[in-house]
Amino acid sequence: MTAKPLRALIVDDERLARLALRTLLTSDPDVVVVGEASGVDDAEVLIRRERPQVVFLDIQLRGESGFDLLARNAGQFHIVFVTAFDAYAVRAFEVHALDYLLKPVDPVRLATALARARNPTAGPAEVKAPAYRYDDLFFHDDARSPRFVRIRDIAFIRAAGNYTELHLAGGPPLLVLRALSLWETQLAGAPFVRVHRSLLVNLDFVERIERGEGYTYDLFVRGHAEPLPMSRRRATELKGRREAFRGGREAGG
């Protein structure tokens, strides 16, 4: 027997946004959209009647907030916030959101959210790792201080055994149970470059490169006093990647 389809509800005050999300959701044969609502009152009625397993919830509704809906205690369901703003990420975690997707919704990130909704207790290895865009958010599931992290705020990623350290624009590094090679795959579309076998660096944070001893170079990144090691071969590759990203951005701008 096959599992029952995941019952999903969409709450968004923009008709085109609801249509776009419904189109993505209905492309998955294991998902059924049981309804749409543009406001808190209609959403509460649908939740009590349809008993969705997951609600895709916008935060800024006309004169209301997605958080107002959660205060109604209309039933038990998983929450996936879908919004154009990342300023509410911390509060989203406080209400135990399953995921936090930024508009326009990336199909790969949506698939990850659906996988979590089907099996919310699954560990990282049981959920397909998403490919991140530069403006995406990464959920750091730390027992002491869980939080959402902006990909664009990561200055560099350093391997640490079976873990990696995320060094951010400010604050102490975060330890993540994830291999550097997986990060490299996930960040393929973002300006991150492997400068050492144990380092991925965000090009937007690179300030300068200085020649070190022998055939090595020192890479300086914004906000971090200590230089990072880099070989001559990696320095050549880095130069090419920086020029390519700059050219792509100028063409896109």
Shared domain check, 120 and 22? yes
Is 133 among the domain residues?
Answer: no
Q: What is the DSSP string of 176-231?
A: ESS-HHHHHHHTTTTTEEEEETTEEEEGGGEEEEEE-STTEEEEEETT-SS-EEEE
Strand partners, 63: none
pLDDT for the residue 242 = 62
pLDDT for the residue 230 = 83
Is 243 among the domain residues?
Answer: yes
Single out the residue in 99, 128, 157 at which a domain terminates: 128
CATH of residue 22's domain is 3.40.50.2300
pLDDT for the residue 128 = 43
Is 156 among the domain residues?
Answer: yes
Strand partners, 32: 7
CATH of residue 240's domain is 2.40.50.1020
Backbone φ and ψ of 53, nearest 5°? -85, -30
pLDDT for the residue 48 = 95
pLDDT for the residue 124 = 38
Amino acid at 210: E
Single out the residue in 109, 128, 147 at which a domain terminates: 128
Is 1 among the domain residues?
Answer: no
Shared domain check, 241 and 177? yes
Is 180 among the domain residues?
Answer: yes
Distance of alpha carbon 175 from alpha carbon 181, whole angstroms: 15
Counting the structural domains of the chain, the total is 2
Shared domain check, 217 and 121? no
Shared domain check, 169 and 245? yes
Buried b (16+ CB within 10 A) or exposed e, 11-21: bbbbeebbebb
146, 137 in Cβ contact below 8 A?
A: no
Shared domain check, 214 and 165? yes
Single out the residue in 87, 109, 128 at which a domain terminates: 128
Shared domain check, 174 and 91? no
Shared domain check, 124 and 146? no
| pTM for this model (two decimals) | 0.54
Q: Which domain holds residue 33?
A: 6-128
Distance of alpha carbon 213 from alpha carbon 225, whole angstroms: 19
Which helix (H) or strand (E) element contains residue 17?
helix 15-26
Shared domain check, 14 and 106? yes
Q: Label each residue of 63-129 as H, E or C.
A: CEEHHHHHCCCCCCCEEEEEECCCCCHHHHHHCCCCEEEECCCCHHHHHHHHHHHHCCCCCHHHCCC
pLDDT for the residue 59 = 87
Shared domain check, 107 and 146? no
Considering only CA atoms, which of 118, 127, 153 is closest in space to residue 8?
118
Which helix (H) or strand (E) element contains residue 150?
strand 147-150
User: Cα torsion at 233, 238, 243, 244 (round to 10°)?
Assistant: 100
Q: Label each residue of 41-57 as H, E or C.
A: HHHHHHHHHHCCCEEEE
pLDDT for the residue 19 = 95
Q: What is the DSSP string of 27-45?
A: TSTTEEEEEEESSHHHHHH
Shared domain check, 153 and 82? no
pLDDT mean for each 10 residues of the chain (253 residues): 82 94 94 96 95 93 85 88 72 72 87 86 45 78 72 92 87 85 84 89 90 79 87 70 58 54
Shared domain check, 99 and 143? no
Is 134 among the domain residues?
Answer: no
Shared domain check, 26 and 112? yes
